[in-house]
Amino acid sequence: MDISYTGYPVFKGLQKPLEFMGIRGKFLIYAAAIVGLSFITFIIVAFLTNKLYGFLAMLVVAGGGYLLIFFKQKEGLHSKHKFRGVVVYKDLFIKEY
């Protein structure tokens, strides 16, 4: 059974996050926001200076955003913060009537 795709398929298996071009889950929203922000940056900088500087600013914003996604994605989709102190649960098993 040979399935050939002409583009980039979106993989969604059982108990797996949505994945598109190596970007998983919530990071797809981040990638879409970065593309939009870089385009808006291009428009603003190109309007204020010239198109070359706008293009360079767009590349910097997009590159920085994708680096952010790359490093955040290594932490996982559900990165958890660990509290390193001592937690005291006061009145945990006291019933109040």
Tell which wins on pLDDT, 51 or 96: 51
Residues 62, 38 contacting (CB under 8 angstroms):
yes
CB count in 10 Å sphere of residue 71: 9
Domain regions of the chain by residue span: 30-75
pLDDT-derived band of residue 55, with 50, 70 and 90 as boundaries? Answer: very high
| Alpha helices (H) in the chain, listed in sequence order | 27-48, 51-75
What pTM did the predictor assign? 0.59
**Distance between CA atoms of residues 18 and 25, nearest Å:** 5
Residues 34, 69 contacting (CB under 8 angstroms):
yes
